[in-house]
């Protein structure tokens, strides 16, 4: 595995925001519960692009055999620090490094199976892929829709030979607590772009202690296996 100095997406500010949303909602618990319907404790699971590792932490605690990788050292250090599971979170650049052999590859909001031969490359390392993508995030479908999804992924998978797949729609609350109006403006600027401030601020809610940006996060879970 390489130890390249990859660009770090997870800086202190993004980590702070994500942690606040994670502890104030049950999004990760609900998502983990849904994923557990499609995996077994007999499987060895490799997670690619684990980020801060909230879902994988739940799966580990529930007894699943999972090793989680990311190419952002800030994310890996934070996951190890929060969970104390220093052997389960490791560095790997999935674009260049060899993918460890396992029963199942888990990809949560990471990578594109339709690019660079990723689908069949990953299926050389596992018999099953669970691929989770955003359909839209934010306050309504049109404001923050992921362009062309899930239709693009459905179209891509439908054209592939040698695989079987199914899609499971899922959504859950992942609203974002924010300290102040200026914190909200900075969050929107960094996550969605400065040109979106006015569109997002109209949904901002004032709470007793701070602010809240609602987020009913809609996703698609694709379960992909090799044909027998």
Strand 211-213: give its sheet, edge to edge: 176-178, 211-213, 205-206
Q: How far apart are CA 219 and CA 135, in angstroms?
A: 5
Element (H, E) at 185: helix 181-192
Task: For tokens 């594109």, name the residue.
Answer: 112
| Residue 188 maps to a domain | no
Q: How far apart are CA 31 and CA 104, in angstroms?
A: 17
| Residue 2 maps to a domain | no
| Residue 181 maps to a domain | no
Give residues with Cβ within 8 angstroms of 63, minimum separation 6.
41
- Print the domain residue range for 25: 12-175+218-226
Task: Please count the structural domains in the chain.
Answer: 1
| Residue 32 maps to a domain | yes
| Residue 114 maps to a domain | yes
CB 75 within 8 A of CB 53: yes
pTM of the model: 0.93
Q: How far apart are CA 122 and CA 182, in angstroms?
A: 42
Q: How far apart are CA 170 and CA 162, in angstroms?
A: 26
How many CA atoms lie within 13 Å of 115's alpha carbon, on the beta-carbon side? Answer: 5
| Residue 189 maps to a domain | no
Residue 21: is it exposed, middle or buried by C-beta count within 10 angstroms (0-12/13-18/19+)? buried
Task: For tokens 């969050």, name the residue.
Answer: 187
| Residue 201 maps to a domain | no
CB 219 within 8 A of CB 134: yes
- Domain containing residue 71: CATH number: 3.40.50.150
Q: How confident is the model at residue 123 (pLDDT cuts 50, 70, 90)?
A: very high
Q: How confident is the model at residue 140 (pLDDT cuts 50, 70, 90)?
A: low
pLDDT in tens, 162-210: 999 999 999 999 999 999 999 999 999 999 889 989 989 999 999 998 9
| Residue 24 maps to a domain | yes
pLDDT in tens, 6-62: 458 899 999 999 999 999 999 999 999 999 999 999 999 999 999 999 999 999 999
Q: How far apart are CA 207 and CA 129, in angstroms?
A: 40
Q: How far apart are CA 174 and CA 217, in angstroms?
A: 6
Tokens representing 199?
């569109």
Tokens representing 196?
């979106």
């Amino acid at each position: 595995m390489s130890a390249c100095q990859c660009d770090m997406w997870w800086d202190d500010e993004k980590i702070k925001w994500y942690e606040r949303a994670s502890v104030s909602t049950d999004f990760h618990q609900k998502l983990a519960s849904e994923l557990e319907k499609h995996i077994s404790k007999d499987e060895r699971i490799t997670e690619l692009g684990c980020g801060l590792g909230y879902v994988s932490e739940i799966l580990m605690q529930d007894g699943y055999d999972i090793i989680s990788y990311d190419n952002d050292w800030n994310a890996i250090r934070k996951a190890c620090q929060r969970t104390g599971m220093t052997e389960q979170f490791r560095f790997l650049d999935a674009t260049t490094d060899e993918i460890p052999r396992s029963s199942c590859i888990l990809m949560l909001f990471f990578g594109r199976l339709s690019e660079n031969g990723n689908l069949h490359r990953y299926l050389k390392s596992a018999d099953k892929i669970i691929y989770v993508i955003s359909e839209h995030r934010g306050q309504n479908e049109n404001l923050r829709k992921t362009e062309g999804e899930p239709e693009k992924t459905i179209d891509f998978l439908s054209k592939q030979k040698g695989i079987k797949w199914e899609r499971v729609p899922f959504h859950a609350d992942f609203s974002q607590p924010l300290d102040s109006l200026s914190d909200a403006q900075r969050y929107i600027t960094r996550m969605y772009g400065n040109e979106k401030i006015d569109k997002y601020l109209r949904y901002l809610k004032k709470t007793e202690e701070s602010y809240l940006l609602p987020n009913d996060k809609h996703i698609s879970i694709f379960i992909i296996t090799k044909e027998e």
